[in-house]
Amino acid sequence: MSIDCLDPARLAAFWAEALGWRITSNEPHEVVLEPPAASKEEGISPDLLFLLVPEDRVTKNRLHFDLRPSDQYAEVQRLLGLGATEVDVGQSPECTWVVLGDPEGNEFCVLRPFTDEEMASFA
């Protein structure tokens, strides 16, 4: 998956920390992230390629990540500490997810954990 950005190194570093992934290529115009070596995601999850572009993002993302941690509050706090910001995209106060922006303002969501009932339905 390719992500256009103004500062590939900075944005890749944020997402590497956020996801626990590794930077496998770091060039001035592009940085590649891959899942951890020998993880169950390696070779299955798409690599993330951060590409340098000259223009700012001016509209809402057409694609965004949804993260589902086991502790939503703790994960939101961790991501804010990494440089994410809270974003209002018109979500209601009853929403069960939190919308954040990465260091370049790309929105992503931090979802609530699955309930025990939901987890049982996957078995």
CA distance 111 to 71: 9
Confidence of residue 5 (pLDDT cuts 50, 70, 90): very high
Report the candidate in 114, 83, 119, 78 with the shortest Cα–Cα distance to residue 96. 114
33 and 8 within one domain: yes
CA distance 19 to 35: 8
Q: Which two tokens stand for residue 2?
A: 């390719």
123 and 70 within one domain: yes
β-strand partners of 51: 4, 30
Q: What is the mean pLDDT of residues 21-45?
A: 94
46 and 66 within one domain: no
**CATH number, position 14:** 3.30.720.120
110 and 73 within one domain: yes
Q: How many domains does the chain have?
A: 2
Q: Which residue segment(s) compose the domain that 80 sits in?
A: 57-123
Residue that has been written with the tokens 């993330």 in this structure:
48
Confidence of residue 37 (pLDDT cuts 50, 70, 90): very high
